[in-house]
Amino acid sequence: MKNSRMEEIGKVLSEAESILVFTHLNMDADAVGSSCALVREFRRLGKKSWVLFNDSETADNLRFLLGDLTTDDPSVIEKPDVCLAVDASETTRFPRVADKFLSGKIRIAVDHHEIKDTDWEYNYIDPSAGAAGELVLKLFDVMGITPERGSAEALFAAISSDTGNFQYNNTTKETFLSCARLCDFGIRPNAVSNALYECVKPEKLRLQSEAVSRMEFLLDGRIVMSCLTEEMYEKTGAVPNDGEGIVAELRSIKGVEVAVLLKEENGKTYGSFRAKNEANVRVFAELFGGGGHDKAAGCTIEHSMKEAYPLVREAAVRHFSKAFEEMEKAGESIGWNS
């Protein structure tokens, strides 16, 4: 795949009369924020434009971004001049509406994920960008668009969220420069952050308390392990989705290098793993047929919690005692506070 210049993409979009925007399933703030900002600005230019979501549900804390910009009805634009995928580039990332994307006269992808072999009419893939939102801002620049505050705030939501509030490794100089630009368009970081982060379900906090009460420390506290069981969902009124983010809370404990959280759902067990400094949980997840990133990975185990827990526990002790030993031999720093 050869990257197009952003100017070429801007030109095609400027000339289009109808633009359908796509993003990936399991939408996060970057997916929703980037796609909604695009459609809002395309409409201001007088174009017919919608975000066509793959998913029918949007997370509660992202709904403030939607306005009337989104739909799940592929017939909303019969024959779009351009189909534009943002924060996604392969149709496997939006399977329900993949055919509609393919039907576009011109297909474009603007993404910051590494991709394998996608090659649309135009592609702008930059894995060094912290968020697709940064690329959308660049696109606005080349198109001469001064975004409305609502669009700018959607991009701020995208960027702040995908960089973990500027805490992840993908935070770059460009990330901060993008946000400085967004300030020119009147963003209110506090209002956006309240909307994104300050709407936690009480059931979720209660579920987290249960996970904390069950946590156990292995290998001198370098591994923390806990679980979410059907019984705990029942006790707290939470649903399995509320388990999102709890494994990161466990990782935040002092001295912890690896957090392991097992979640029970429909008789299966889902493993969720996080690493703090130098440890690699992707390799561990692969032991159970899973995968992911070095610092965040997961797997599915076709066993009940009762069977899966001791299996994973034993494997974690075995795998990481060796891994930690090798890290120490290699003299790898494992953080200032560890």
Using CB under 8 A as the binding rule, whether residue 212 contacts a second copy is answered as yes
User: Binders of a second copy among 108-147, rule CB under 8 A?
Assistant: none
Collapsed DSSP state (helix, strand, coil) of residue 71: strand
Stretch that binds a second copy, among 15-23, 49-57, 58-66, 283-291 (CB under 8 A): 58-66
CB of 270: closest distance to a second copy in angstroms?
A: 22
Question: Is residue 60 within the footprint of a second copy (CB under 8 A)?
Answer: yes
63 counts as binding a second copy under rule CB under 8 A: yes
Nearer to a second copy, 193 or 321 (CB): 193
Query: Is 66 among the residues that bind a second copy (CB under 8 A)?
Result: no
Could you give the CA distance from residue 21 to residue 72 in angstroms, rounded to a whole number? 11
Phi, psi of 319 (to 5 degrees): -65, -50
Does 194 engage in binding with a second copy (CB under 8 A)?
yes
Which tokens is 127 given? 């894995």
What does the block give as tokens for 256?
């912890």
Residue pair 58/67 in contact by the 8 Å Cβ criterion: no
244: amino acid identity, one letter: E
- 3-state SS, residue 175: helix
200 in contact with a second copy (CB under 8 A): yes
Q: How far is the CB of 20 from a second copy (least distance, A)?
A: 26
Candidates 190, 234, 266, 331: give the one binding a second copy (CB under 8 A).
190
Residue 173 found at the interface with a second copy (CB under 8 A)? yes
Q: Is position 180 an interface residue for a second copy (rule: CB under 8 A)?
A: yes
Task: Tell me the C-alpha to C-alpha distance, in Å, between residue 307 and each of 259, 264, 288, 319.
Answer: 19, 11, 14, 19
DSSP SS3 for 67: coil
Q: Which is nearer to a second copy, 99 or 294 (CB)?
A: 294
Beta strand 48-52 pairing with 70-71: parallel
**74 belongs to the binding site for a second copy (CB under 8 A):** no
Least separation in angstroms between residue 156's CB and a second copy is: 9
Give 186-194 contacts, CB < 8 A, sequence gap 24+: 186/149, 186/152, 187/149, 187/152, 187/153, 187/156, 188/153, 189/156, 189/160, 191/153, 192/153, 192/156, 192/157, 192/160, 193/160
Asked if residue 215 binds a second copy (CB under 8 A), the reply is yes
Options 26, 56, 128, 213; binder of a second copy; rule CB under 8 A: 213
Contact criterion met (CB below 8 Å) for 188 and 229: no
When binding is defined by CB under 8 A, the residue of 24, 93, 100, 251 that contacts a second copy is 251
The footprint of a second copy (CB under 8 A) covers 60-61, 63-64, 160, 164-169, 171-173, 176-177, 179-180, 183-184, 188-191, 193-195, 197-202, 205-206, 208-209, 212-213, 215, 217, 224, 249, 251-256, 276-277, 335-337
